[in-house]
Chain A
Amino acid sequence: MELVNKWPKYYKQDVVTHYCPGCGHGIVHRIVAELLEEMDLGKQAYLVCPAGCAVLAYRYFDFDVIESAHGRGTAIATGAKRANPKLFVISYQGDGDLSAIGTAETIHSANRGENICVVFINNAVYGMTGGQMAPTSLIGQSTTTSPAGRNPDVDGYPLHITDVVAEFPGVTYAERVSVATPAGIRKTKKAIRNAFQTQVDGLGYSIVEVLSACPTNWKMDPVTSCKWIEEEMVKEYKPGLLTDKREERRKEKG
């Protein structure tokens, strides 16, 4: 009998996860590791992990990893990729990291069309620091810093940063996906594969936003969390392709 579900080559074996049960980070980690193996990119991979729950990603990833100060992932990725274009560079970031403290770095690395991939985990809260309101939190969503629910009068509106950068000419590929269902997980893998291929082909910036559960801070069990993504989160953040300029880019490059 053939063994179908193999341990990914670029995922360490001797570690116990620190992620909570039902957390989306682990799913996306596995997808990243699988793709690096399938696309034969692990040997030259360089991943920037964020300040956020994924700060310990290097415990799991078995390729080169650097940690970033909160929000600065795409600046570090820019420096590394510019200095050594042979590296395959990924910036892995949370929603607080990428769309609050790192907004300037996100916008400008995207606008420069850096040839890097951004994996953006949107769980609508600051997971690591205990579930505070994020720029991405839904209207009415109760968090430790919006206990009565996010009120746009005082808290502003959910920030759609991937939609914003998708408008930029420098952003070649942008897609929003969710890991709340098996079908969504398959789509996520496909989207990240496209993003990775964009960099391999030298076509510029790609970003995949992944709607991802944080059961602990949402104060829901994992199953209810996935339902909440499918029923509530997708209303605000509609999954789908946001931009795909790969053909244009290819023509420009000749």
Chain B
Amino acid sequence: MTLPVATNSIGRDTWTVFARAMRLSLRNPAWVVIGLTQPVLYILLFGPLLEPLSGQLGSGNAYQVFVPGILVQLGIFGALFVGFGLIAEWRAGVVESQRVTPASRTALLLGRVLRDVVVLLVQGTVLVLVSIPLGLRAPVLGVVLALLVVALLGAAFSAVSYALALTLKSEDAFAPLLNAVVLPVLLLSGILLPMTLAPGWLQAVSDVNPLKHVVDGVRSLFDGSYTSATAWWGLGLTLAMAALGWWFGVRRFRRESG
């Protein structure tokens, strides 16, 4: 019996899974393009509506308020939908065929999540570049930090999405679950308009939504207020969500797939 030399490591396995996932994404870029079109449409078709409101928004530039919201939206909702791809892979037998190898279970998740993060970063960069000719003004450091937040959020939500997909194993169960979560979270996060415009009761409700604070944090990064409490709250909550999402995802991938 010949045995292959045992050279599995979590880093190498992650790279194999990442490279495979990336290759498949690039071969069928429709989803990447669709995922990008939506935020760009928001910027192009919704952004101009905000320009007359600039005064009420507090800062001088509507896009400085709006682009961070759309970035966070991209990070969360782009990532939440990746589970659909895993359900398709599970059905094709790919998940099982990977799980029967000695590869690290964590790597099977991490490689996929990294692919999603790279896709998100490309989308986020395009989004920022598109907004500049429309009037976005923001410090480079702020934008870079904002993209870092998007990457962390994306990693958290894509890990959660994969874990849920592997548990539910059916688009018919996964889609309603996402829809039930996405809309209220979206409306209560001030992604489209800052919650400062909202009446008191609505503000109070949105205060318990961590994503609202993340959006506010990213807005202050775009503002250049790196040391403000808002910025730190946003970053701190992002790290907490990333840790939680990662824990949830890894736990699911270590269990049997059922």
Q: Do A and B bind each other?
A: no
Q: Which residues of B contact A (CB under 8 A)?
A: none
A interface, CB within 8 angstroms of B: none
